[in-house]
Structure 1
């Protein structure tokens, strides 16, 4: 057993740790709870970490308690605990998740905001009177010198899916067209399904299975160009998704019909995961069909 004098000596040594080293330790903690505990150790630690950025969890599951209360629960997948937050800022708004731990709020006045439930930071985006299906961020807007670009996929006339982009603080969305479709509703008869920010570029995919690269987003003439054609024998009309797997950009799709089950609507994953490399080489990796999640 350690003596009382030994314990006091150890505490004194830790209290005199160099500021740079303490900040470095705090920067790699993956939990706001750990940061708060470090600031409670002593006055010198609290002073050293006063301006230290807190690493809020990037991946959480958000649960609503129910009723008309302002309380929301967030489940941290890394710590396996629930945190309860009072969030009147998102009351009477439609909200959903987005990358880097941000919520997107869309209220009755069609105002759209990025809201961080942990830091309470908020950024305004241009109004949109349409139903937004998805927002994709290029970078955390709270990062120093952040030049965040936000892509939106939204429903337009006759439920056509459009794609547009903006930056926090912009006054209007800039709709992108592709394949000679000047109104931005996709390439001809096909619709936009998904978009992703990958290795410094934005990519989009159509339900035709085609992959598109978006260029010159910071310039005067942004455009969408073909990056990869649809896979061979691809049946259009499926819902396609883009995701990063290591150093690879991949696409998978969800088929509302199952050929093996007499076309029952089961929303199962397609058999193939498509890997697209930087030189547009395409390989098909056979993966097990996913009937459901959970």
Structure 2
């Protein structure tokens, strides 16, 4: 048969099932011809809740000031070592955060906040930036309004969930306070607590947050008023640092501490932070204490940390990534449009950084 478009749909479906875990393979399959596209759409609709999560993660590249088309965003595939430019008119003029579910969280200079899936075009609205409490003096600075947005769960499942996993938690304002909302809410609800938080994670049906001093809090958003409750002190003997990341690995809650040398020269920036090493701690909920890991018993994990939500993946499922490694990106929100230098991979066993 010379006309591939005339293949029976069940045969085309077998081809689609044997594609690699690179989402670009699916995209290419989707545009071969109308008959193959119909097979791809049927597959995607049948597995709508989990389809895109089976692909290896992409790195969304920073928007450059001299880019002509502001509606096009670039993504780097570590699997194929290629860059893909995707037309995304919905995020023109916005700042974006990634998530481990394939969704983007966007904030525009029009002060509106959305969830967007870049591959299927679905968009959900969240309360706008002026709905953050106590921020009347910061409306002209979107970077102060929101520092980080973290999803409680995959938005594809939200139609079947009614618990706090459907929420989005935000670090907002110049003092990095906590607030949460869900699509359909009119306002963001702030938590009754102090400020200066560094990271958030949704783990075992609860949001957890860590502040600049390394104290771990559990967020009780069902209480009136909602509040962050002290859970654990920082690990012993940690040095003051600007970088804390909470991540789930092997089913346990972990803390990644990133140490830097400080400001060093960089051709693309006035300065940047040079990472020297990372430390990883596992949290023991029984003793409410952190245990430092000097090696990983199971090498089959790669961590991804940065300004977006941190997460881990299995390198046996995605062999193009290195196990027992930490993939990191620059997380200075004030420089998110520039050419970052401090991005790379930290080999946890060898304690070495390999830059991208």
Q: What corresponds to 1:231 in structure 2?
A: 235
What is the distance in 2 between the residues matched to 1:200 and 1:256? 33
Per-residue deviation at 1:289?
A: 5.0
Q: What corresponds to 1:205 in structure 2?
A: 210
User: SS of 2:259's equivalent?
Assistant: strand
Residue number among 147, 168, 186 corresponding to 1:150 in the alignment = 168
Q: Deviations over 1:88-144 (max 9, x none)?
A: 211122233233122222122211111111111111111224431111001121224
What is the distance in 2 between the residues matched to 1:105 and 1:44? 30
Instruction: State the structure with bigger RCO (CA 8 A, min sep 6), 1 or 2.
Output: 2
Unaligned runs of 5+ in 2: 130-138, 263-270, 295-347
Per-residue deviation at 1:237?
A: 5.0
Q: Contact between 2:234 and 2:290, CA under 8 Å: does it hold in 1?
A: no
Q: What corresponds to 2:180 in structure 1?
A: 165
Quick check: 224-233 or 37-46, which moved more?
37-46
Q: 1:124 to 1:42 in 2, by over 3 A?
A: closer
The alignment covers a number of residue pairs equal to 265
Q: For the aligned residues, what is the CA RMSD? A: 3.9
What is the distance in 2 between the residues matched to 1:254 and 1:42? 46
Q: Contact between 2:282 and 2:292, CA under 8 Å: does it hold in 1?
A: yes
What is the distance in 2 between the residues matched to 1:133 and 1:47? 36
Q: 1:219 to 1:80 in 2, by over 3 A?
A: farther
Q: What corresponds to 2:105 in structure 1?
A: 104
Per-residue deviation at 1:161?
A: 1.3
User: SS of 2:160's equivalent?
Assistant: coil
Q: 1:95 to 1:50 in 2, by over 3 A?
A: closer
TM-score (norm 2): 0.61
TM-score (norm 1): 0.72
Residue number among 162, 174, 180 corresponding to 2:189 in the alignment = 174
Mapping of residues 79-158 of structure 1, within 5 Å = 80-128=81-129, 129=139, 130-143=144-157, 144-147=159-162, 148-155=166-173
Q: 1:271 to 1:50 in 2, by over 3 A?
A: closer
Quick check: 169-178 or 227-236, which moved more?
227-236
